[in-house]
């Protein structure tokens, strides 16, 4: 996605979208409404960069003895409520927006995605008589629908050689799709002619396939042209195929996953991945195939977000299917099944990988067909593409979420923070929350896209605590319990993008909002 630089006067702030986002303290903010519902708000620029159209699973506490509950969802206060479908632990489903109630443990697992049109997600839980119940936000499940473990598959070397010269890829993708297994395909973009791109489009449209970059030329590091290999390959994917949701934000495609050729990885690659919007990197290594295979807990654990690099640390596959000539694969059904069972029991991610030129001749073999049958169709396992697993992990990893002052714990906040306004987009008013950890002189001001100040919402000394301001585009602001600083004389604002800036002592932060009339 194109990098954006915003310039303000009289101060200058540089905000390249993919360089600053990970430094925000609050990726999500949770607010309780007076009616008993919840508002979940994602950081605007993070939302703009990555989309988050894949459902996150929110753990919502429900009162003891509850039954026959329903969850309703909407994206703005002007929308009508939409009832979410209810699933049970016996249903097989992945990546859909749904709620699953665990009445025995007083918990609702609400899997809901954000809309491209709004940073806000509103939800309300009602009983059989239509009365709202009081929910308690408990956090985000480690995996979708609070599953025990996750399964994903990746495949290398999509190119003319493996697709049109030798038709290896399509039959294999059909095999995996028949077991409802998701495959992230590494595309060598400079090795694809128009027919190979057309076939990739067909596979994307058929579902279960994610397009990942496997570089332009499949070179070993150091690259002669690292920007061309990393950014150029991504742009070639976006220019030749139309990515389906959730890899598409209002017509802009997203390539989340980098699959390193030969598993080569160096500091240049590490630096550039985050600059060009990748969030995860799958490496490669000849894996130990000694019998019995030893598994160390953590080998298949999702890696952490690297703030300095703006992407997750690299991730290795669990095992390679087949017997490549260079070694490291596995063709033992017993070994593969035992490895999968061990990882599920540990609650980790089972990441299969394969090369089409290696396993195509084994397409009917027991180790392949029966292993896929063994790992698929389980209701306690989450199945998704690698990019979606890491996109989910991006928000899930920030599980210590700020909650507004309505329900905040007593005492002094331990940090300064500025929350994303909600609702967003808004009309005509929106709420801005912030926290102060020490007595400070505070200014909260709103600017238009030209950097002109259009509102002063706060301009005074404030004590440590949590604060809320309602910014009205009709004129003025109404800080809770305070007079309108503008005196009610400010003129109504037109539709457009506005930035609000909190300055509290040496702390300063800017966020973006949108007014839609």
Q: Which residues pair with 433 in a beta bridge?
A: 468
CA dist., res. 122 & res. 422, Å (int): 10
Closest CA to 383 of 95, 52, 140: 95
Helix (H, G, I), strand (E, B) or coil at 262: helix
Specify the DSSP element, H or E, that contains 32.
strand 28-32
- Chain-centre distance of CA 305, in angstroms? 12
CA dist., res. 468 & res. 476, Å (int): 15
Check residue 425 and give its pLDDT: 86
Architecture field, domain 33-146: Sandwich (2.60)
Over the chain (517 residues), the average pLDDT of each successive run of 10 is 29 29 58 80 88 95 94 92 97 98 96 93 94 90 97 98 96 98 98 97 98 97 96 97 91 94 93 95 74 57 90 92 90 94 94 97 97 98 98 83 43 72 89 88 91 91 89 66 46 89 86 87
> What is the DSSP secondary-structure string of 330-362?
E--HHHHHHHHHHHHHHT-EEEEEE-HHHHGGG
Architecture field, domain 149-387: Alpha-Beta Barrel (3.20)
> What is the DSSP secondary-structure string of 41-82?
EE-HHHHHHH---SPEEEEEE--TT--S-EEEEESSTTSPPE
**Topology at the third CATH level for domain 417-515:** Immunoglobulin-like (2.60.40)
Check residue 74 and give its pLDDT: 94
Specify the DSSP element, H or E, that contains 21.
none
For the chain, helix (H) and strand (E) counts, in that order, are 12, 31
CA dist., res. 340 & res. 343, Å (int): 5
- By DSSP bridging, strand 120-126 and strand 38-42 are antiparallel
CA dist., res. 512 & res. 44, Å (int): 6
- Chain-centre distance of CA 55, in angstroms? 9
Check residue 481 and give its pLDDT: 41
Predicted TM-score (pTM) of this structure: 0.80
Closest CA to 59 of 19, 92, 95, 106: 106
User: Domain map of the chain by residue range?
Assistant: 33-146, 149-387, 417-515
Same fold, 149-387 and 417-515: no
Check residue 14 and give its pLDDT: 30
CA–CA distances in Å: residue 21 to residues 107, 369, 481: 32, 42, 33
CB 84 within 8 A of CB 74: no
């Amino acid at each position: 996605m194109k990098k954006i630089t915003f310039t303000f006067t009289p101060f200058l702030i540089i905000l390249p979208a993919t360089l600053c986002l990970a430094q925000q303290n609050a990726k999500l903010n949770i607010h309780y409404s007076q009616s008993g519902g919840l508002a979940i708000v994602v950081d605007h620029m993070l939302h703009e960069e990555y989309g988050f159209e894949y459902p996150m699973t929110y753990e919502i506490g429900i009162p003891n003895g509850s039954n026959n509950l329903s969850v309703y969802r909407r994206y703005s206060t002007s929308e009508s409520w939409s009832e979410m479908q209810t699933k049970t632990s016996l249903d097989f489903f992945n990546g859909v927006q749904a709620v699953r109630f665990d009445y025995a443990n007083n918990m609702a697992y609400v899997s809901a995605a954000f809309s491209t049109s709004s940073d806000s997600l509103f939800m309300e839980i009602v009983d059989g008589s239509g009365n709202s119940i009081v929910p308690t936000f408990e956090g985000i499940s480690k995996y979708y629908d609070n599953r025990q473990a996750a399964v994903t598959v990746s495949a290398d070397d999509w190119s003319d050689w493996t697709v049109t010269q030798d038709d290896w890829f399509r039959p294999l993708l059909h095999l995996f799709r028949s077991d409802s297994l998701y495959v992230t395909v590494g595309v060598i973009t400079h090795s694809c002619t128009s027919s190979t791109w057309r076939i990739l489009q067909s596979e994307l449209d058929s579902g279960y396939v994610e397009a990942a970059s496997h570089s332009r030329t499949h070179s070993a590091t150091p690259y002669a042209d690292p920007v061309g290999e990393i950014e150029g390959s991504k742009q070639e994917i976006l220019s030749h195929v139309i990515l389906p949701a959730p890899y598409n934000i209002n017509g802009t495609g997203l390539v989340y996953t980098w699959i390193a050729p030969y598993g080569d990885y160096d500091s240049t690659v590490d630096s550039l991945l985050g600059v060009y919007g990748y969030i995860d990197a799958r490496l490669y290594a000849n894996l130990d195939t000694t019998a019995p295979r030893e598994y160390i807990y953590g080998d298949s654990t999702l890696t952490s977000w690297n703030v300095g690099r703006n992407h997750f640390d690299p991730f290795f596959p669990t095992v390679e299917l087949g017997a490549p000539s260079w070694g490291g694969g596995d063709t033992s059904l017993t070994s593969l099944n035992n490895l999968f069972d061990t990882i599920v029991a540990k609650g980790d991610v089972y990441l299969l990988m394969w090369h089409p030129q290696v396993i195509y001749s084994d397409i009917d073999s027991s180790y392949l067909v029966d292993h896929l049958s063994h790992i698929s169709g389980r209701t306690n396992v989450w199945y998704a593409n690698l990019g979606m697993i890491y996109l989910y992990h991006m928000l899930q990893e920030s599980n210590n979420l700020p909650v507004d002052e309505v329900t905040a714990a007593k005492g002094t906040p331990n940090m300064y923070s500025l929350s994303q306004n909600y609702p967003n987009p808004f009309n005509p008013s929106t709420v801005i929350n912030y926290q102060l950890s020490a007595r400070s002189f505070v200014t909260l001001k709103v600017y238009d896209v030209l950097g002109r100040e259009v509102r002063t919402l706060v301009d005074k000394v404030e004590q440590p605590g949590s604060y809320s301001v309602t910014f009205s585009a009709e004129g003025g602001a109404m800080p809770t319990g305070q007079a309108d600083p503008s005196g009610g004389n400010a003129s109504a604002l037109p539709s457009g993008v506005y930035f609000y800036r909190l300055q509290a002592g040496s702390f300063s932060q800017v966020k973006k909002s949108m007014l839609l009339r």
